[in-house]
Structure 1
């Protein structure tokens, strides 16, 4: 692990290349945006000795992109409105006194934080420097002494913790999950023969979460596995994959300490996020009541939460600035 080797060279504000029209100045947040947790989530893109015209190209590209995604250059006016005032996003350049290979080999969350312009998973408005108004987007470009580069981006979104499993371990987890499901089928299990890698990993973590809780308490409790689900393809009129916004919601699977078919529970809960669910979601009042009841149950301490999200199949490895293929990615 290599720490304290990042030196910030410059920090500035980049604004949209063209002004946002006046009639688009006030953007009312959707219901999903309003109920999304107001926290920053990071992504870091690593490039091995890219061929580029230094940071001018990056800043210019960012400025032009903000013209299309103008709300990101604005400021939160209230809990329901973004002032699209072209105030800009923070752009940081930093020199890394280390080799890219040293960082990418066994990255840790503590180390990766250095390549980000804002503290990851912190509440919107908190960062490494004091600001009067919270940013919605910030970018940090890190130059390694070997010629490699890392682009760290923090955007307001949801909370997550990072786990890494290699291909062989994933195969073993899937096999173990299928075996556990088959063993539980006599008691009404789902008999899933081929769990997905997300299902297998989630069930593995959930299982051990339950086992640890069992050691700490003899009380019979319920355990909820909460999974972030992309709603774009689950609507009656599906949205494009690249549709912009917080178009996701949580599925929730419940299990007791003695429940064996965790994979089946997960798949069943995610399948419930369908077009009918989205229609009910569009009736905001009804969904708010559901959230209130869920909060009451969780506040009583009768249910413990284990939260999951997955970046599998997200095209993060396809981000190409025209230099070279991506070397790695760290959410």
Structure 2
């Protein structure tokens, strides 16, 4: 299906804020964490069938596109930095140049696409080439934009909304605030998300001479697969992962620990050398600052922690891996998150990047990265008035040894996009321990049985 699918772009325009940004807000300062963020895109796709049950009216695809266009303009009045352009390594010029809004047609049915989602096919539903190192839009020299949007209309009338945000001011919390703010205006819910721009005052930027400590993440010969963990299987994993040190492990802790364990086994099976394994995971630090920041604070407000599997034992217990994660998180909160607000914040961050870079460069170390949007409530946030998305998905950048986790639509399960080397993936996707808890790329969702949705999509 993925090879036969074609996405034809029909046009593009720039949506500007409905009210001009005041002069005193035109120069938006990046925070220190924004400055050190990688020059890549955070990308997601939200899927909507032609019509929903539960009382939502049928809205034709062309009307949906118009709703999105019209609501984006007043939304950008509050979220004005996204309509600006990256000026330098210190600031954004909030010049109201607008968000690029593209429209495209897909020559297949939504139901067919969702039977077995394909990581490479997802990329065609995005307005930007996310694998471009220069964050350059295909066919466009302007690579300083903060957000790009693309509507993709399927033959059945279903729609996929692809969005790319610059990582320079975007993390999972920012994506959630962005989607809630936009959807509230589109659906006329009467609610209003007020973004907070406090990051640069809490984490002041360095001057323009600062250099980005980018990590050399590999993309060569990788393979990406999707795995789904149902609620009952996650409950079993939580029982396995519990110990005296961690009596109630989280869902993300146990799922990521299993992925880490099985990916490490695959790597060791393909190597003759003794290999150590570490996993880094991001965490939202909004609630860990002093004072805590509102959830709608815009920017890269994330910290990172590292868990180390130092023994070369493939039979390591799940509870030990969970405990290593919890220990790494606790140490990060005490030694990293709290120190970020001090005068030595830059030194603290540089040391963190230095440690990670050292581990990445070691030939006998497998370095895994895990990110999660499970707590961001994105299904609820992306209801524009015609119902929640039938599915939403992160889009993999193709970096080796990454796990990208998100909630299933009913919030009870977890989906994981796993990217490994091609050789490691061949072993990983056949791992019996993994497959006893996860299904491999199962159908996204059974559309509403008994409704016309079964026939039209």
Q: What is the TM-score of this pair, normalised by structure 2?
A: 0.64
Q: 2:72 aligned with 1:62, yes or no?
A: yes
The CA deviation string for residues 92-146 of structure 1, in whole angstroms up to 9 with x for no partner, is 1111221111112221111111211012354352233232333211000111221
Please report how far the alpha carbon of residue 229 of structure 1 lies from its aligned counterpart in structure 2 after TM superposition: 0.6
Please report how far the alpha carbon of residue 226 of structure 1 lies from its aligned counterpart in structure 2 after TM superposition: 0.4
Instruction: Verify the 8 A CA contact 1:40 1:124 in the aligned structure 2.
Output: no
Instruction: Verify the 8 A CA contact 2:288 2:338 in the aligned structure 1.
Output: no
Residue aligning to 2:107? 97
Give aligned pairs, total: 322
Classify the secondary structure of the residue corresponding to 1:214.
helix
Alignment partners' CA distance in 2, 1:31 and 1:117: 28
Please report how far the alpha carbon of residue 275 of structure 1 lies from its aligned counterpart in structure 2 after TM superposition: 6.3
Please report how far the alpha carbon of residue 7 of structure 1 lies from its aligned counterpart in structure 2 after TM superposition: 1.5
Of 97-106 and 151-160, deviating more is 151-160
Please report how far the alpha carbon of residue 219 of structure 1 lies from its aligned counterpart in structure 2 after TM superposition: 4.1
Gaps of 5+ in 2: 51-57, 172-216, 395-457
Residue aligning to 2:25? 24
Instruction: Verify the 8 A CA contact 1:230 1:249 in the aligned structure 2.
Output: yes
Alignment partners' CA distance in 2, 1:201 and 1:281: 29
Please report how far the alpha carbon of residue 33 of structure 1 lies from its aligned counterpart in structure 2 after TM superposition: 0.6
Alignment partners' CA distance in 2, 1:217 and 1:114: 35
Alignment partners' CA distance in 1, 2:77 and 2:362: 47
Alignment partners' CA distance in 1, 2:150 and 2:74: 17
Residue aligning to 1:285? 346
- Return the match for 2:92 from 65, 82, 96: 82
Task: Call closer, same or farther: CA 1:162–1:31 in 2, change over 3 Å.
Answer: farther
Please report how far the alpha carbon of residue 285 of structure 1 lies from its aligned counterpart in structure 2 after TM superposition: 2.9
Q: 2:251 aligned with 1:251, yes or no?
A: no
Alignment partners' CA distance in 1, 2:360 and 2:160: 40
Gaps of 5+ in 1: none
Structure 1 residues 122-271: aligned runs within 5 Å:
122-157=132-167, 163-167=226-230, 171-172=232-233, 175-176=236-237, 178-179=239-240, 181=241, 190-256=244-310, 257-258=312-313, 260=317, 261-271=320-330
- Return the match for 2:59 from 25, 33, 51: 51
Instruction: Verify the 8 A CA contact 1:124 1:134 in the aligned structure 2.
Output: no
Please report how far the alpha carbon of residue 34 of structure 1 lies from its aligned counterpart in structure 2 after TM superposition: 0.9
Classify the secondary structure of the residue corresponding to 1:135.
coil
Instruction: Verify the 8 A CA contact 1:117 1:152 in the aligned structure 2.
Output: yes
Please report how far the alpha carbon of residue 270 of structure 1 lies from its aligned counterpart in structure 2 after TM superposition: 1.9
Instruction: Verify the 8 A CA contact 2:150 2:161 in the aligned structure 1.
Output: yes
Task: Call closer, same or farther: CA 1:121–1:38 in 2, change over 3 Å.
Answer: same
Classify the secondary structure of the residue corresponding to 2:145.
coil
- Structure scoring higher RCO (CA < 8 A, sep ≥ 6) equals 2
